[in-house]
Structure formats: structure tokens, C-alpha cells
Amino acid sequence: MMNAVTTERRDQVLVVYLDDGKANALSFDMIDGILTAIRE
């Protein structure tokens, strides 16, 4: 799931992008990537 979750800081906001090629699908790896991004 490499690079499926990317982030960008805009001022005081963290924007999290999800792109695994599937519409409306969250795998456990994707959820883990989201949580990791938020914790950083």
C-alpha cells in the first residue's frame, strides 16, 4: 500500500489524500496509513 496515503500541510491544516485506485474502499492497510499520517 505504498504511497496510497499522502499528506500535505496547508497552514494549520493537515490534508490527507487517499489513492489506492479503488472507489469508496478502505482496507485495513489504508486505515493504518491514515492513522499513521494523523499521528505524525
Q: What is the radius of gyration, based on Cα positions, of the chain? A: 10
**pTM given for the model:** 0.61
Per-residue pLDDT averaged across 20-38, rounded? 83
Calculate mean pLDDT across residues 14-33.
84
* Residues ≥6 apart with Cβ < 8 Å to 26: 18
In the chain, how many H helices and how many E strands? Answer: 1, 2
Which 3 state secondary structure label does DSSP give 18? strand
For the chain, the domains span 5-39
Quick check: 10 pLDDT over 90?
yes
